[in-house]
Amino acid sequence: MTATGEIGGGGPTNDALNMGFAVISSDAGHSASQNPLFGLDPQARLDYGYNAVATLTPMAKQVIKLAYGKGPDRSYFDGCSNGGRHALVAAARSSAQYDGIIAGDPGFHLPKAAIGEMWSAQQLAKVATATTANGLPDITTGFTAAERQMVASKILAKCDALDGASDGLIQDIKACQANFSLATDVPTCTNNVRDGTCLTSAQKDAIGNVFSGARNSAGTTLYSSFPYDAGLGPGWSAWKQANSITLDPAAAAFTFTTPPQSASVLSQLSAYALNFSMDTDAPKIFATSGVYSESAWSFMTPPDETNLSALKQRGAKLMVYHGTSDPVFSSNDTTDWYQRLTTANGGDASNFARLYTIAGMNHCSGGPSTDQFDMLTPMIAWVEQGKAPDSVVATARDATNVVPNTDVPADWGAGRTRPLCAYPKVARYQGGDLNAASSFACS
C-alpha cells in the first residue's frame, strides 16, 4: 500500500505526501486480511502492539537525514481505528518522537472491544429468526435493516432538535442518552409480529444489551457502552453483524487470548464468537503463558493511558476524533478516557490534548454524518504557530461530492458543513443557513 499520509475522515481531498511531507506507513509487521494466525508468534504480537512504531520511526528519520542532509523539523503521526490505537500508544510510549499526534476512532482498548463485538453477536443471535448454512444463528435477522432504520428514526425524533436544529445530526449526544429510551420510544410488536415498525420485547432486551456493553455473569463491565445515535445503517451492520463473527473472533483467538487458540479455530470463527465465555474466556486478555510473556492488555494498550506528561512537557499536541455511531470502538470509551485525562491534568487538558466527536459517523467514516475533514492542517497550526483548534470544519459527502457517501440523506442538500467542536462543547444552531457551519457555534 502506497504511503500517502492520511489527514482524517472519509473521502479526503488531500494527503500529507501532497502537502510536502516525507511519509511512512506501516502494516505493523503483518497483513491481517491474509493471515490472522500471526498472533501465534509472540514477537509478532509485540510488533503489532507497539514495537513496529517504536522501531520504524527512528529508521524513517534516519532515511530522511540521509536523503536531505538533515532530520525532519517536525514529526506528525496520524491514524484511525487500529492506527488510532497506535497513535495513542505512541503518545504514551514514543512521546519524544512526535510533535503532533492525531488519533481517529482509537481502538486503544482493542482486546476489550473484540470481546464487546462477540458479546453483540451473542445478543443478536438470541433473537435471530434464521440460521446460516453452517447451522448457526443468522445474526443479521436479529436486527434487520428496516428495524435499524426505524430505531434510528425514533432516536432522531427524541434527540435531533436538542442542539437547536432538526437536521438529522445529533450534536448533543450526551443529552440524547437521557432523552431516548429504547423501551418506551420504540413500539413493541403486538403478538411478536415483526414487520419493521416495531421491536419484540426480546429484541429490546438483546439490542439494549448491545448498547449497554459487554459484561460477565456477575454484571461486571467488560467493555464500554455505546451511545444511541442515528448511524445504524450498513456501516453499523458491517461491524455488529459481520466482523463480529469473522474479524474480531480471529483477533481474539490468536492475538488477544493467552495462550492463543489452536489454528483449527480459524475454520470455525462464528462458533468461537457465539460460544465465547464472558466469564472464563474474557480474562485471558490479561494472561501470560510461557513464551507469551506479555499479556494482550499490556502490549495493545497505552501504558498508564492518562499520564501523557512527557508529551505535554515537550509541547507536543494530541488531537483525537471519534464518530458517535462507531459500532466497534465506542465513542463513550474515548470520552471517558478524555475526562480522566482532564482530571489527571488539573481539570483541563485542552492546552495539549483535544477531543472531537462526530455526530452520526460510523467507524472512521460513513454514516449520516459530516465525515470529510482535515485534522492535519489545524494540527500543524497548533504545533507550529500556537493556534489551538477550537473547532474543525467538516463536510457531508452528498451526491455532489468528489467521493460521495451513500449514507448522507438526499434531503440534506449540497455542501453541508458543520463545526466539529472540542469536547465538551457542542455545535449548537444559532440561526441562518442550515447547511453552513457558520450557522453553528460551539458552546
Catalytic residues: 81, 326, 363
Across-strand partners of 420? 392
DSSP symbols for 23-76 = -----TTS-TTT-GGGGGSHHHHHIIIIIHHHHHHHHHHHHHHHHHSS--S--E
> Measuring CA to CA, which residue among 163, 282, 168, 167 is closest to residue 220?
282
Q: How far is the C-alpha of 281 from the C-alpha of 277, rounded, in Å?
A: 5
Distances in Å between the Cα of 283 and the Cα atoms of 190, 221, 287 are 40, 12, 7
Q: How far is the C-alpha of 83 from the C-alpha of 69, rounded, in Å?
A: 30
Q: Helix, strand, coil shares of the chain as percentages rounded to 5?
A: 45, 10, 45
**What are the grid coordinates assigned to 15, written together?**
494527503
**What are the grid coordinates assigned to 136, written together?**
448457526
Contact 213, 221 (CB under 8 A): yes
> Measuring CA to CA, which residue among 279, 322, 260 is closest to residue 119?
279
- Pairing label, strands 391-395, 353-358: unpaired
Element (H, E) at 100: strand 100-104
Q: What angle do CA 55, 321, 316 make, to 5 degrees?
A: 50
Contact 141, 130 (CB under 8 A): yes
Amino acid occupying residue 75: S
Alpha-helical (H) ranges within 127-265 are 145-159, 173-179, 182-185, 201-212, 234-240, 247-251
One-letter-per-residue 3-state SS of 371-394: CECCCHHHHHHHHHHCCCCCEEEE
**What are the grid coordinates assigned to 377, written together?**
492542517
Contact 152, 177 (CB under 8 A): no
